Structure formats: C-alpha cells, structure tokens
Structure 1
Amino acid sequence: MLRNGKKDDPSARERILAAAEELFAESGFDATPTSRIAALAKVPKGLVHYYFQKKQDLLTALVDRLPDTHIEPSRVVVPGDVAASLRQLVAELDARNRASTLLSHLLWREADTHPSVKEALQARFESVVDQVRVVIQAASAGALALADVDTASELLALAVSYRHSMARHADTDADNTMDREVTFIANALATRPAPTP
C-alpha cells in the first residue's frame, strides 16, 4: 500500500503498536511521549506520526486489537447443566483475555480518561452479559424467569470483567474457572421457582 508516495512497512506499524501498548500499560497514556514509543519500536519519531496522526489514534488502534469475545454457544453449552456450561464459557473468555493481558490492563487503566476506551469496554461487558444470558437459557432449556437470568448474567459478567481487569496483577491459577461463583449462580437459579405462564 502506498501512502504519500511511500510504501507502508507493516512490521514498523506493528512495532509501534506493540511499543505503545507496553509503554501505555507501564506509564499511562498521558505520561508516555511519542518519542519513547519511537525509541522502543526502533523507528524514527516521524514514522509514528506517519501511521498515527495523533497519539489518541494509537489508543484507538489498540482498542481495535482486543480479541473478539464472541463465543458460539454451541461450543460451551452442556444441555441441562448450567454450571458446566458457565464454566466452559468462563474458560473460553479467560483464554481470550490471556492472549491480551497487557492490552486489557492498559485499557482498563485508561477507561476513566478516554471516552472511546470506556465505550469499548462497556460494549465488551454488554457482550459478555449477553453471552452468559444465552448460555444460561440454552443450558436450562428456558425454564427460568427472565429477571433471574438477567441478574445472574450481569453478576457473572461483573465477576469475569473484574477478574480480567486485575489479571495482570493477580497470581491466579490459569485453570481457575470461577467455580465458587458459577456454582453459586447455578444453585441460585436452580432453587428459584419456575415462572408461571
């Protein structure tokens, strides 16, 4: 691809993004000058601005690099077993988060000061809520009150989101599938009376 008569160097762009991710996570967006990004990426400072006109464009590009959180329900649903289904969903979400722990940490850190980051994280949270809801409904064959499913979905999504926001600092077992939380939610749903038609 040509831009302003110059050939793009995808490896330089990638090095710039990797450097920005590392430095923003370490020092914060506002405290990281583009000169440090260029030095870490081993590119001239002008090349940073060639690919990203404003420093904010770097943050936007990093938001776009977050891994997709959509998980096909058929991959995780165990019919008749809400707890097993939720454990599998959490394990899939955790695997995707582990692929971008530093990036996830950086974005949680910047959410309070950059509206675009906050919006992206909110959309990801809502996506997790929706996925939990679909998994609960599929695993339970829809025999639960919608209000209970909504509450359970938001509670588990909050727990997953919190854990992901702290993943870089936590010394947690990679195989921890939030058993206590999942078991509590599944048991609470199981003891609720079925909705009346």
Structure 2
Amino acid sequence: MNDSRTRILDAAEALFAETGYEATSTARIALAADVPKGLVFHYFPQKMDVLLTLIDERTEIEEPCEEPLPPDPAGALRRLAARLPLRASPSMRRILFREADTHRTARDRLTALNRELVRRARRTLELTLPGARGDAARLEIAAATFATVLLYQENLFHLTGDRIDPDALADLLTQALT
C-alpha cells in the first residue's frame, strides 16, 4: 500500500477519533500526515471518502470461531464476550460510535455488528441451554441485552474509563434463563 495514502489514513483515524469527522479539516489531515493537501484529494476526492475508506478498510466483523463451546452457558457467553467479533483499533471503534448518528456507513457497520453479535449470542444460548429453545422470546431478549451491553461498553469506557464485567453479565443472563 502507498506510504502517503497510509499516512493520510493514519492521521485521519487519529484526528477523527480525537475531534470527530466534522471538526477535522482535510488541511489538518494533510498536516498530521506530513503530505501536501492536494495529495489527500488525489487519493480521496472528498473528505467523506477518507471516512468511508477508514470504515471499509479498518473495521471488520470477524467470522465465527468453529471451536466447541464450553458446556456451561455462562462460560460460552464469556468466551463470546472475550472474542467480540469487531476487528478494529480503539480509535476506529470511537469513530464508529461517534459517527453512527450522522454517517450511514458507520451506522450500517454498527448495525451489522449488533445483528451478528445478537445472532451469535442467541445461537450460543440455544446450544448450551437446550431446554430454553422453546422460549424464543426470552432467548432473543437475553441475546439482545448481551449484545447491547457489550457494544455500549465501548462508549462507556471511552467516556468514563469504566468497564462492565462481561463475566458478571454472562452469569446474570444465564441465571435469568435457567
């Protein structure tokens, strides 16, 4: 990959995470990347193209792991929490959450991540709590709660430095289902 293009994306990632997309000018990106402003437009005709490229190239929803599940439902959810399927730097996670309200691409990536996390949590609970399969509504609520808390945790940590204990969350949800 072109060194200048990479420096532009690195600079944009740092600046968008720090001050947001709207507050970051292409001139600031060029200055931080140590490239002429015209080179930013050579690679990215509009500033929006920088954001779209960052999201497309630097965030990815990982494929599920095909390892056998731990036998207990809480352990299986703990493992899922430890392997949150979003591959992205902390800066890119901040960008996704910050820009989701105003930029469709960021919102679409977070929506896809939420759906995948809910799907994996529901499947994990179905496989580890066979008796609960008949209660699809409760499984869906537990899976959605699990996904919401894990995704919200990213914002919480950024804002306050606090983390929600995913082990306690897994225990709470599985106790509620059993």
TM-score normalised by L of structure 1: 0.81
**2:132–2:177 CA contact under 8 A, matched in 1:** no
- 146, 162, 166: which one pairs with 1:156? 146
Greater fraction helix: 2
Considering only aligned residues, what root-mean-square deviation do their CA atoms show, in Å? 2.1
Among 78, 81, 90, the alignment partner of 2:81 is 90
Cα displacement string for residues 98-149 of structure 1 (whole angstroms, at most 9, x for unaligned residues) = x511111112111111122112211111111111111111222364321111
CA contact (8 A) 2:17 2:92 kept: yes
Deviation at 1:53, TM superposition (A): 0.9
Equivalences for 1:26-65 in 2 at 5 Å? 26-64=18-56, 65=58
Q: Which has the larger radius of gyration?
A: 1
d(CA) in 1 for partners of 2:131, 2:41: 53
Q: What amino acid is the match of 1:68?
A: I
Matches within 5 A, 1:1-197: 10-64=2-56, 65-72=58-65, 74-75=66-67, 77-79=69-71, 81-93=72-84, 100-141=89-130, 143-144=132-133, 145-172=135-162, 177-190=165-178
C-alpha change, 1:161 and 1:28, in structure 2 (3 Å) is same
Q: Partner amino acid for 1:15?
A: R
> What CA distance in whole angstroms lies between the structure 2 residues aligned with 1:127 and 1:24?
26
TM-score (structure 2 length as normaliser): 0.89
Q: What letter is aligned with 1:112? A: D
Whole-Å separation in 2 of the counterparts to 1:30 and 1:171? 24
8 Å Cα contact 2:156-2:162 kept in structure 1: no
Distance 1:51 1:143 in 2: 52
- Aligned residue pairs: how many? 176
**CA distance in 1 between partners of 2:9 and 2:52 (Å):** 10
Confirm or deny: 8 A CA contact 1:67 1:100 kept in the other structure. Answer: no
Tell me the alpha carbon deviations over residues 57-111 of structure 1, each in whole angstroms, 9 at most, x when there is no partner: 1111111111324332x336213x10000001101118x56x5111111121111
Unaligned runs of 5+ residues in structure 2 are none
Q: Name whichever of 162-171 and 178-187 sits farther off.
A: 162-171
Q: Percent identity?
A: 36
- Higher mean C-alpha deviation, range 155-164 or range 127-136: 127-136
